[in-house]
Structure 1
Amino acid sequence: MSAHLTHGQVIEVLVVNRLTSPAPLVRVGDWARTWAVEEIFGIEAGLLNDDRLARPLDAIAPKLEAIAGTVGARAIAEFGIDVSRLHWDMTSMSVHGDYPVEGQDERYPVIAHGRPKDRRVDLKQVQAGLAVSADGSILVHARVLGGKAAEVSQVVGAMKDLQHMAGERKFLMVTDSKLVSYANVAALLAAGVDFIAPVPASQIKDEVYASLDPAQAQAGDWVPERDAGKPADQRESYQVLEDVHTLAGRRKRDPVYRVRRIPVHSTAVAAGQRRAREKRLARAGEEMDKLADAAGGWHYKTREKITARIAVIAAQRHVASCLRWTITEDERQTPTLVWHFDQEVLDAEAAVDGWYALLSSIPAERADPSQILVHYKGQGTVERRYHDFKGPLAVAPVFVQHNRRVAALIQVICLALLVFCLIERQARRALGGDQTMTGLYPDNRRVRPAGRMIFYHLGELTLRIGSISDPPTVQITRGVQLHLLDLLDTDITRTRWPQT
């Protein structure tokens, strides 16, 4: 029995807690009593009080970057993870508490108000950047960042981290539109790191998309997973073209960079934009009709009041570009409103529905426009890991006393997510073929095992406490549990129990 725990033992327990039944630090001891922590790790649950759990967080806080880099590199080597394509993105975690700036340690990410992804503008936040491999969606690197850290300024730092971790391996960095700045593109080109990122909408005028000739486009070789079982004519389809995007610096002496630009047309995006526009127009039309009926009445006696209301409708419904109206007055100065939507403007908007563009530094001989699209579509893997990060591993909202400990706890959760990803990858690879199995859901449908469902089913295993002559045994109650253990190459009959 461990009476004196090392920091490593405590961190290991915290990782396991996050994987099985995430709990606040003050509740980890209660979790340990019901989850056989003493039997598996030889650690008495009573030793896992919140103070003992917090001290290891203080201990690892100064070494978070080293931990992230070495653990990621070790995982790549040990599990043969292909890092030729890495997807990078950032997310935010809301944090409960005041966290005044003067009470925080500036050597660590500062908790502050920012632009929270969960829209909890009432709470301060801390952020994390995750790098996920295309191979198995494995979290291979994570950075904890302050609440005000701008995404555009983190790209170069992330690239350097990934270069160090990957060593001599060449990799493709796929990220969101925050990559596309002059400084970031210059840094990636200078470092010889290939990249793919969507162009911010503000950098391409609608006239560019409207001038594109779909007849010259190439069919994009990508089928979304949700459409895999549908007939070809019911699937989302893509068309891709290619031209050149130019980035110029602020100074005249700055070099001008020209990189490949891949305009992409998506039928699903086009349909979504069309539905959104129709909805906006319908709502704006209803409100404008009501205003026209009310013009000259008690609330809208004057031109000024009608004009003010029109401005509100145009802004709220985003129809300012196409809304046309006139106000006339009779001999008694009673106003009358007549309005319509400009069809030419609406037709021009419809002409660019479904278009967006990707930038890439990959040479044409290594990837055609369709292959660029396929690489970019893997970006959904990092978004899926955010869901795991905030769902099964229960990261938000965080409540820890110091920003140093907040940063360390998030890094611990990232370690748990790495294990989570590896287990999911192992199960799927062991299945082979289409990587699907039955037994995970009550309707027995075939699905690919997700980490969440794997841990759900294995979490219901129970440990029967034995004696000196009768060792403890894990009790399997359902066939799916045995199947998952086989896929994970885990023989519970060979488990070595610690001496207590």
Structure 2
Amino acid sequence: MVEKRLGAVPVAAGFLRWLDVGGIVGEVCPGGASAHVTHGQVVEALVAGRLASPAPLVRVWDWARTWAVEEVFGITPDLLNDDRLARALDAIAPELEVVAGTAGARAVTGFGIDVSRLHWDMAGMSAQGAFPAAGQDERYPLIACSGHPEDRRVDLKQVQTGLAVTAGGGIPVHARAFGGAGASQAVGAVNGLKAMAGTPGFLMAAGSRLVSCSSITALPGTGAEFIAPVPAAQIKDAFCAALDRERAEPADWVPERDERKPQAERETCRVLEDTHTLAGRRRSDPPLTVRRILAHSTAVAAGQQAARAKRLARAAADLGKLTAAAGGRHCRTREKTAARIGVITAKRRVNSCLRWQTTADGHGTPGPAWHFDQDAPNAGAAAGGWHALITSLPPGKAGPARVLIHYKGQGTA
């Protein structure tokens, strides 16, 4: 008696055949006439493997022997060796966007997926190694230096990845890889989304990487509207502290996590509207003025206040240890004491409120004298909870509150 696992393999096979993934791959990347298995069959088996038993794409034939791959797909497990997988992946790599876009368009049409509003975000993946530009194929995304890597590994090169999901249900509908920093790739991403969605225009909610004058200037030509957050560094605390929250319009939105809570304990959001000006990359480039929505969240304000209190508490503990170690091996001079305080200040991010000086006791032993300026935390609390969005949506299509509600699903991307 032979036992094999079924799992989700038959279900995956049914959807793959309904989408005709094998036929799409076979048409775009036909295999050799003498091939025992086509590229399309290999790709279908790989997709089923990733869905039924997620694992690295090695020793796939071992997986196929213990699962009902031969019975469902008609592929002998030994044919799924590493060499055959590599040949199939090499064949589809130049046509990957065509394959994914065609299959995606069929899924959108067949399942009636709403693609009028999509959430798009990008992330970088660091790669170990030198990766000289001269040794890379220009037909594919280049592994290169990135300006602000998420993992803060500025010593590593990166490749950027982008993912688009639907506003309803967070269904992934489009993925793409980019070389370089990625911010300048917005137009290519929108065109790919438009081709896949089969619609001339849609609303794209994106991350802060979209906020550059060159990207936003080019987007209107694609027919897509956008919403994106303004980087926090571009909004000064003093500006936020001066905003009148009572004048702001309430947004009729409640997060899922608060739906069962009493009204008084729910997160509330209020919005104001003004304009935001983006400078061009070159001095000769004209500035671009766009619509800006200033949003205040009570939950964000509470989170920021708790984070500030935690930073102050940790800084105080570190400074207390430094005071107790005065005159020790690491704090014998004023210079060493000042250097240690500088490390604590940077690590705990309390430079704006920490006031300190080095003193000496009657024996000449140096030590720190410090306190927190309460005006600085109070100013931070007054500015807390505010963030800004920019959008190309005209006021007639969406008021300030509606723009914020449209953006609230960005966490699904």
TM-score by length of 2: 0.84
The partner residue of 1:158 within 189, 194, 200 is: 189
The residue type paired with residue 13 of structure 1 is A
Task: Give the corresponding residue for 2:82.
Answer: 50
Runs (5+) with no aligned partner, structure 1: 383-500
For 2:362 and 2:78, how far apart are their aligned partners in 1? 87
Q: How much does 1:95 deviate?
A: 5.8
Counterparts of 1:171-186 in structure 2 under 5 Å? 171-186=202-217
Identical positions, percent:
63
For 1:40 and 1:28, how far apart are their aligned partners in 2? 16
Matched, 1:262 2:293: yes
The partner residue of 2:177 within 144, 148, 162 is: 144
Task: Give the corresponding residue for 1:34.
Answer: 66
For 1:297 and 1:23, how far apart are their aligned partners in 2? 53
Task: Give the corresponding residue for 1:460.
Answer: none
For 1:121 and 1:206, how far apart are their aligned partners in 2? 28
For 1:134 and 1:165, how far apart are their aligned partners in 2? 16
Decide whether aligned partners of structure 1 residues 212 and 137 sit closer, same or farther in structure 2, where only a CA change above 3 A counts: same
Task: Give the corresponding residue for 1:72.
Answer: 104
Matched, 1:87 2:119: yes
Counterparts of 1:228-243 in structure 2 under 5 Å? 228-243=259-274
Q: How much does 1:151 deviate?
A: 2.8
Matched, 1:210 2:241: yes
Q: How much does 1:110 deviate?
A: 3.2
Q: Deviations over 1:404-429 (max 9, x none)?
A: xxxxxxxxxxxxxxxxxxxxxxxxxx
For 2:299 and 2:322, how far apart are their aligned partners in 1? 35
Counterparts of 1:384-463 in structure 2 under 5 Å? none
Task: Give the corresponding residue for 1:291.
Answer: 322
Matched, 1:60 2:92: yes
The residue type paired with residue 38 of structure 2 is T
Matched, 1:300 2:331: yes
Q: Deviations over 1:37-89 (max 9, x none)?
A: 11111111121111111111111111122223322222222222221111111
Task: Give the corresponding residue for 2:311.
Answer: 280
Asked if the contact 2:122–2:207 (Cα under 8 Å) also holds between the matched residues in 1, the reply is: no
Decide whether aligned partners of structure 1 residues 305 and 248 sit closer, same or farther in structure 2, where only a CA change above 3 A counts: closer
How many positions carry a matched residue from both structures?
A: 379
Q: Secondary structure at the match of 1:55?
A: helix
Q: How much does 1:182 deviate?
A: 0.8
Asked if the contact 2:252–2:401 (Cα under 8 Å) also holds between the matched residues in 1, the reply is: yes
Asked if the contact 2:268–2:297 (Cα under 8 Å) also holds between the matched residues in 1, the reply is: yes
Q: How much does 1:100 deviate?
A: 6.4
Task: Give the corresponding residue for 1:487.
Answer: none
The residue type paired with residue 134 of structure 1 is A
Q: Secondary structure at the match of 1:128?
A: strand
Q: How much does 1:97 deviate?
A: 7.5
Matched, 1:132 2:165: yes
Asked if the contact 1:325–1:338 (Cα under 8 Å) also holds between the matched residues in 2, the reply is: yes
Matched, 1:222 2:253: yes
Q: Secondary structure at the match of 1:54?
A: helix
The residue type paired with residue 76 of structure 1 is V
The residue type paired with residue 272 of structure 2 is L
Decide whether aligned partners of structure 1 residues 337 and 61 sit closer, same or farther in structure 2, where only a CA change above 3 A counts: closer
Asked if the contact 1:210–1:351 (Cα under 8 Å) also holds between the matched residues in 2, the reply is: yes
Q: Secondary structure at the match of 1:226?
A: helix
**Structure 1 range deviating more: 71-80 or 92-101:** 92-101
Asked if the contact 1:84–1:169 (Cα under 8 Å) also holds between the matched residues in 2, the reply is: no
Task: Give the corresponding residue for 2:29.
Answer: none
Decide whether aligned partners of structure 1 residues 121 and 296 sit closer, same or farther in structure 2, where only a CA change above 3 A counts: closer
**Structure 1 range deviating more: 94-103 or 73-82:** 94-103
Where relative contact order (Cα < 8 A, 6+ residues apart) is larger, the structure is 1
